Amino acid sequence: MNYSFDDFHSTIYGLALLELAKGGTVLHHKGFIYTNEKVDNLLQTRYISSMARKIGKRTKGPKPYTAEIGKNSAIF
C-alpha cells in the first residue's frame, strides 16, 4: 500500500488526538507539546496548503532538521 506525506501527518495527528482524549501528553519531535488547539491549527494549515497546491500555488516545506534543533528539543 502506498502512503502519502499527507496520510502520515493525518495518522500522527489522529494518534495525538486519541492520546489527548485519554488525558495523556503528546510531544512533537521538535519539543513542543500537542494540545487539541494545536492539532486543530496544524490540520487547518495542512488543509489550506493542500488547497493552495491544487490551484497551482507553491508552498514551503518544513525547515531541515538540524543538530541544533535536536539539541534544543532533547527532553529526555
Q: Mean pLDDT, to the nearest integer, of 54-64?
A: 83
Residues 65-76 pLDDT 10s: 777 766 666 555
- Pairwise pLDDT comparison (63 vs 26), residue with the higher score: 26
Give yes or no for a contact between 46 and 6, defined as CB atoms under 8 angstroms apart: yes
Whether 59 shows a pLDDT value over 70: the answer reads yes
Which three cell numbers mark 51? 488547497
Angstrom distance (rounded) from CA 10 to CA 20 = 15
Query: Is the per-residue pLDDT at 55 higher than 80?
Result: yes
What's the rounded mean pLDDT across residues 35-51? 89
Pairwise CA distance, residues 70 & 48, whole Å: 28
**Lookup: cell for 31:** 519539543
Q: Amino acid identity of 24?
A: G
Q: Can you tell me the distance from the alpha carbon of 58 to that of 38, in angstroms, rounded to the nearest whole number?
A: 24
* 11 vs 58, more confident: 58
